[in-house]
Structure 1
């Protein structure tokens, strides 16, 4: 394991191979999450044809995993503060892998919807566990990059999962998409069971006797000079979420949860409607699909760029810049569709900025909370944010029924990014950034 001094040095210095191995495994988990999350979307046309699904049933199937993800982030992820990050990740992978396999034998839309919701619970908890474990294993200098790589991995999983799903769906049928996803998930869980190690920071806090808790900070906070909660506050699991709305951190919790909600609200509109908008303005369906792929490719680049720049420029400042620029570009998206190459380039840039903003939120979230409350805090913020992704297509549908134009829709959703920027500006930022400002 190494000495305490070595581990404290790794919080600010170069990262050892073991630290990168844990971060790499969390990236693997998130790649699998990308496939598991959108498995239904990949095969929806085949499902609809086989079961003669109406629009409502299709919507339920698409929303089931998102509802499960919100529940998993909010209610399952906090168990990591009580039992550890590693057990949560392994249990979540087991749940999502098993329910993906069982989806192979689903006999109708309602049984599949239930299984998709259970898969979503596992995915939601895994996303939080991977974020927190990455944060606690990465050095202070590399935390922004390490966490943004988790977003890159998720987007890469969506892209590769889409290619795999298309191949399986066209050859052996939609059921084998779930069979493959479940097999990959359980294999990733087995890899974690063999080689994934627990957070030293979590173990250090859990091993402290009560009388020492107020005098020995958690390892990662040694480098940040940020306040660390006492052991009593570290062990608040089961007492609700009141600690996240205490005098010390209510403002950060509300600002970050609001920003997550608004960004996810906009993200799912852009992902859903940009390819369709391209087709409606005269592009071929192939160009529309390529536009959607470029949106995702831009997203991976955006997350990576924000992670690389977070340490130099501050993740909060970059996040604000990404949000404001994205809001401006969204209002120009509809006029840009008059020129196909410009529209595709605009879609790529929107994906870059939106996914970069999401990566920035993932970087900020674990900074706000102490070790013993970090998983529940991040889970709460992510869970509330997922509500934005659930409401987004519903709101868009209502506005379309009210005969809103494409320009009005994009302007409306752009305003959510402006509100998200205001929420971030109103918050105080993460503990690491506050500590950095105090030292300057």
Structure 2
């Protein structure tokens, strides 16, 4: 079903506002990992407890993505996005006010609910604002806000402010709340969504079942497998990289520089992958992205010099975050407008299971005495499985996905 011709408005306001929301989402997603060493010192947390802190917001992402995507198909993308931004802004602020390990877990979980509900709506709004041939570019422009937001979080953390770990969460909370009025005034609802809703009222039917009917089960399951393992690796990097680099001898400021390199590489990779998706064969892009991720992780794990770590981190961000962009840009194409939010949200929700497991497994490995290189290389089998799932998914459909 091709409904993208319903787009008649300029896509600039939609993509621009979605980029701003993604910027704050990226800042908050990585804030706990960047502030991790300071949080551990402040609350006296062990590596396994820090793994639980990292995973708390990711656990919240799962129901947030699933419910947020489903509600978007019933109530509209704009409404659900605004509520999601309010939720993650409020509880990011509350994170800075946590008074115990348990309260910290609760605030991070509720922040994750808002973050999870926002992303399927950002993807749907960006992809539906343009014609199908430009989906990759539109989603990539929106999505590059995430790694740039992560880079901003590092700069805030390294600014030597009083209680700098709290400052990251203050910015991550106040910023989204200030954006809410802009969304209310200037973010248009998806014209594609309106057209579909008026035509057949698809948003009122139970869509989760449709993801497994009429030949869609294969696509849905393969998307889920690839999302699971791709996000597992990415969130391991985003949450544990500063601590892993410090365990390899770097001081905090140098570990922060490595994290900035990861995010800058991700921003550039996202933009480039978005352009290439609309020009290259997707199979070639998938192979390049996942092979590059394996090579970058090996370089990051076995680097012994600061500058080689920076280069490897840049490459890891370029390929791993670029891989996630490819997934985000492809997923909407598998679902018609009426179930697009549900389809993308379900894939994101399953991906959150992977993103939750990555930090937890890393924490357990470190607690058991594993080194940083072993933790990074343990992600390689997951990358291979994710690449295989995507290749099976697009096999025989080269013309469709060019």
TM-score of the superposed pair, with normalisation by structure 2: 0.88
State yes or no: 1:241 paired with 2:241.
no
Give, in whole Å, the separation in 2 of the partners of 1:332 and 1:176. Answer: 32
Secondary structure (helix, strand or coil) at the match of 1:201 reads helix
Listed one character per residue, the Cα deviations across residues 244-270 of structure 1 (whole Å, up to 9, x for unaligned) are 122321111111111111111122333
Distance in 2 separating the partners of 1:235 and 1:87? 14
User: Which ranges of structure 2 fall in alignment gaps of 5 or more residues?
Assistant: none
Q: Which residue of 2 aligns with 1:342?
A: 308
Deviation string for 1:169-201 (max 9, x for gaps)? 723665454333222111111110011111111
Which residue pairs with 1:263 in the alignment? 230
Whole-Å Cα distance in 1 between the matches of residues 116 and 194 of structure 2?
Answer: 23
Quote how far apart the aligned CAs of 1:329 are.
4.2
Structure 1 stretches (4+) deviating beyond 6 angstroms? none
Residue in structure 2 matching 1:361, options 318, 327, 336: 327
Distance 2:293 2:353 in 1: 21
**1:396-432 deviation line (CA, Å, top 9, x unaligned):** 344445555655544431221111111011114799x
Shift of 1:277: 5.2
Name which of 163, 166, 178 aligns with 2:169: 178
Say whether residues 1:189 and 2:180 are aligned partners.
yes
Does the 8 Å contact 1:291/1:344 carry over to 2? yes
- Aligned length in residues: 399
- 1:8 partnered with 2:15: no
Of 277, 282, 292, 1:325 maps to 292
CA displacement, residues 87-119 of structure 1 (integer Å, 9 cap, x when unaligned): 111111122223334445443332332222112
Taking a change above 3 Å as real, the CA distance of residues 145 and 384 of structure 1, as seen in their structure-2 partners, is same
Give distance in 2, aligned partners of 1:314 and 1:398: 39
Between the aligned partners of 1:341 and 1:42, the Cα distance in structure 2 is: 19
2:108 to 99, 102, 116: 116
Q: Note if contact 2:299-2:309 (Cα within 8 Å) is conserved in structure 1.
A: no
- Report if aligned partners of 1:316, 1:364 keep a CA contact under 8 Å in 2: no
The equivalent position to 2:90 in structure 1, one of 93, 98, 101, is 98
Q: CA RMSD in A?
A: 2.9
- CA pair 104-326 structure 1, distance change in 2 beyond 3 A: closer
1:319–1:356 CA contact under 8 A, matched in 2: no
Which residue does the alignment assign to 1:222?
none
Measure how far apart 1:52 and its partner are: 3.9
Higher relative contact order (CA 8 A, sep 6+): 2
Gaps of 5+ in 1: 1-6, 211-230
CA distance in 1 between partners of 2:102 and 2:182 (Å)? 32
Determine if contact 1:275/1:291 at 8 Å carries over to the other structure. yes
- Residue in 1 aligned with 2:346? 380
TM-score (norm 1): 0.81
Instruction: Specify the alignment match of 2:193 in structure 1.
Output: 202
- Once the two structures are superposed, the pairs formed by residues 30-429 of structure 1 within 5 Å of their partners are 30-55=22-47, 57-167=49-159, 170-171=161-162, 174-208=165-199, 210=200, 234-235=202-203, 237=205, 239=206, 241-272=208-239, 274-275=241-242, 278-281=245-248, 283=250, 285-335=252-302, 337-338=303-304, 340-400=306-366, 408-428=374-394
Structure showing greater radius of gyration is 1
